[in-house]
Amino acid sequence: MFAALMAIGANLTSWAPFLQVGGVPLSMAPFFCILAGLLLGSRLGALSMTVYMLVGIVGAPVFAQFKSGIFVIIGPTGGFIISYILTAYVSGKIVERKKEPTFPTFLIASLVGISTIYLFGTTYFWVANNVWLDFKMGYGAAWGIMSSFMIKDLAFTILGAIIAPRVFQAVKRATNYQKHHAA
């Protein structure tokens, strides 16, 4: 389900083209990536992001602007896609450390998640441009470009941290109910 949500979230600007900054699409993928870690846990969250990436690599148009293929991963924004795996794992691991996670736990996990996406993704963006795409830019310039997305991603990260505890508890209650009434 989260691999499908990632495909939808990555392509919102294809349906709403006004959601672009300088021709770069705003994406809901970071929101769904972090939510996958918060709700599915480290292993399943990372697995869902791996499935998303592999589906895109083999040709399904699930990446932003309905792109697909290995060249998207090699391109300047490929680091963000790769970072989703690590982000879901780290966010999920933080929540798993608490027996009964509360809002502060979800908030910390979400903020660590968005930081992971930006640190890995922006560094990869800078390396890709400077090393294999031969488009020279300073590291500060790469962060300057990405800063236009940070406010939106931070707002959605906080929103995810607000709704995650309720969804988490609902899923937990439903799965406990099914365990006790399955026989």
pLDDT for the residue numbered 51? 98
pLDDT of residue 183 exceeding 60, the answer is no
- Using pLDDT thresholds of 50, 70 and 90, give the confidence band for residue 71: very high
How many domains does the chain divide into?
1
pLDDT for the residue numbered 166? 93
From CA 148, how far away is CA 145, in angstroms rounded? 6
CA trace torsion 151, 152, 157, 160 (10° rounding) = 150
Q: What integer is the mean pLDDT of 66-84?
A: 95
pTM for this entry? 0.89
- Using pLDDT thresholds of 50, 70 and 90, give the confidence band for residue 118: very high
Query: CATH number of the domain that 76 lies in?
Result: 1.10.1760.20
- Structural domain including 162 reads 2-181
Q: What integer is the mean pLDDT of 84-113?
A: 96
Q: What integer is the mean pLDDT of 37-54?
A: 97
pLDDT for the residue numbered 17? 65
Q: Kindly report, residue by residue over 98-108, the tens digit of the pLDDT.
A: 989 999 999 99
